[in-house]
């Protein structure tokens, strides 16, 4: 997979996904990280599942079973990991994550429409 390869469309998605996988994400996929679920988790996410990292303005999408996907503003999938809810809430409380705005949420969703 090249660094600009697009994730395959999720089942039931007639369009093509525009989330690309970084070299780091490809490496983590080989290590058992939940990389393959990124497109489905973005499609299923409600606005309450989408956050922005204050330090770098990357999207953080929360999926089921503690999955988190980190995505650049340009749609590049950086990495995926499993983070317990308590650890996620601690990041929100510390201010390292904030809830996505309506415009940010729509921008993220546009990558998978």
> Predicted confidence band at 7 (pLDDT cuts at 50, 70, 90)?
very low
**pTM confidence score:** 0.74
Give tens-digit pLDDT for 9-56.
444 444 445 766 556 556 555 555 556 788 899 999 999 999 999 999
pLDDT given for residue 11 in this prediction: 40
Q: Which of residues 60 and 20 earns the better pLDDT score?
A: 60
20-110 has CATH 3.40.50 classification: no
Domain segments of the chain: what residues? 20-110
Compute the Cα dihedral for 103, 49, 89, 76 and give only its sign: negative
pLDDT given for residue 5 in this prediction: 45
Distance separating alpha carbons of residues 31 and 93, to the nearest angstrom: 30
Q: Which of residues 9 and 106 earns the better pLDDT score?
A: 106
Query: Could you give the strand order of the β-sheet that contains 20-21, starting from the edge strand earlier in sequence?
Result: 20-21, 76-82, 67-71, 59-62, 50-53, 97-99
Statement: residue 103 has pLDDT above 60: yes
């Amino acid at each position: 997979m090249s660094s600009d390869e697009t994730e395959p469309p999720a089942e039931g998605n007639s369009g093509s996904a525009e989330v690309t996988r970084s070299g780091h994400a490809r490496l983590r996929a080989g290590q058992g990280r939940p990389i393959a679920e990124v497109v489905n988790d973005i499609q299923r996410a409600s606005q309450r599942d989408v956050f922005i990292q204050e330090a770098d303005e990357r999207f953080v999408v929360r999926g089921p079973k503690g999955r988190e996907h980190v995505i650049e503003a340009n749609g590049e999938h950086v990495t995926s990991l499993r983070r317990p809810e308590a650890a996620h809430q601690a990041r929100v409380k510390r201010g390292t994550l904030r809830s996505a705005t309506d415009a940010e949420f729509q921008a993220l969703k546009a990558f998978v429409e």
